[in-house]
């Protein structure tokens, strides 16, 4: 009987999957380097650039004719803060570390999944586990990154004596849909793996 546990993809598909793995390795390295540079930028606690989001905050921008100002609504800006409270510095660093680690783990899981597909084991235990790890890490990593980023942003604004708190939206409809879609993908992979195991040897 034919073994249904292995279905090796064609040469073109294998090439695309190997390209995905190589791009993932480069992206993971770039993510770590960027994170280290960001931490080096934050640690001195001097003129640290901190992104902040506001809701419907009117500002005057000097971009009119002859240097005149025009009215605008600030949505996302970057402030430069110094002498922030230690907890603020720690929060900004934690957000950077969590975001970087979550990204690297997700990339690693995708690379493992790609390797399993190349070997013809798309629904192996390792492949199903990689999908689950990617989905769980993406969700937890995003929540942690958002939480510490918000704490850091509010702390930076407090150091600048800005009374307006950051109003970063915890989740938009697109992001919620994306997380739900990833959850559905994980469930589908688990079900696919179970079906394949149950039908082994039947074909």
In this prediction, residue 49 carries a pLDDT of 95
Per-residue confidence band for 2, with pLDDT thresholds at 50, 70 and 90: very low
Cα(63)–Cα(60) distance, integer angstroms: 9
Cα(130)–Cα(112) distance, integer angstroms: 7
Q: Rounded to the nearest 5 degrees, what angle is found at the Cα of 196, between the Cα atoms of 116 and 192?
A: 75
- Nearest to residue 45, comparing CAs of 12, 83, 79, 77? 83
pLDDT in tens, 104-160: 999 999 999 889 888 887 788 888 888 889 888 988 998 899 899 989 999 999 998
Do 193 and 128 meet the contact criterion of CB atoms below 8 Å apart? yes
Strand 48-61 and strand 70-81: pairing?
antiparallel
pLDDT in tens, 66-108: 767 888 777 778 889 999 999 999 999 999 999 999 999 999 9
Per-residue confidence band for 41, with pLDDT thresholds at 50, 70 and 90: very high
The whole model's pTM is what?
0.79
In this prediction, residue 164 carries a pLDDT of 59
CA 200, distance to chain mean position in Å, is: 37
Q: What is the 3-state secondary structure (H, E, C) of 3-64?
A: CCCCCCCCHHHHHHHHHHHHHHHHHHHHHHHHHHHHHHHHCCCCCEEEEEEEEEEEEEECCC
pLDDT in tens, 45-71: 999 999 887 776 777 778 777 767 888
Cα(34)–Cα(165) distance, integer angstroms: 27
pLDDT in tens, 155-193: 999 998 876 555 555 555 666 666 677 777 777 777 776
Give the Cβ contact number of residue 82 at 10 Å. Answer: 12
Q: Name the 3-class secondary structure at 74.
A: strand
Q: What is the mean pLDDT of residues 33-53?
A: 94
In this prediction, residue 3 carries a pLDDT of 44
């Amino acid at each position: 009987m034919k073994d249904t546990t292995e279905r090796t993809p064609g040469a073109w598909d294998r090439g695309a999957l190997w390209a995905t793995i190589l791009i993932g390795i480069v992206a993971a390295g770039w993510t770590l380097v960027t994170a280290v540079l960001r931490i080096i930028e934050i640690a001195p606690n001097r003129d640290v650039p901190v992104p902040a989001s506001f809701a419907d905050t009117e500002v005057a921008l000097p971009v009119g004719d002859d240097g005149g100002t025009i009215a605008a609504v600030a949505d996302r800006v970057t402030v430069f803060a110094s002498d922030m409270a230690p907890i603020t510095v720690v929060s900004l660093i934690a957000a950077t570390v969590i975001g970087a680690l979550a990204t690297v783990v997700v990339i690693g899981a995708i690379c493992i999944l790609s390797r399993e597909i190349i070997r013809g084991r798309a629904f192996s235990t390792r492949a199903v586990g990689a999908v689950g790890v990617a989905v769980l890490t993406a969700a937890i990593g995003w929540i942690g990154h958002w939480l510490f980023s918000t704490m850091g942003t509010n702390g930076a604004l407090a150091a600048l004596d800005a009374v307006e708190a950051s109003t970063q939206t915890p989740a938009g409809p697109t992001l919620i849909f994306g997380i739900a879609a990833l959850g559905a993908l994980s469930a589908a992979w688990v079900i696919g793996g179970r079906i394949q195991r149950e039908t082994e040897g039947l074909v």
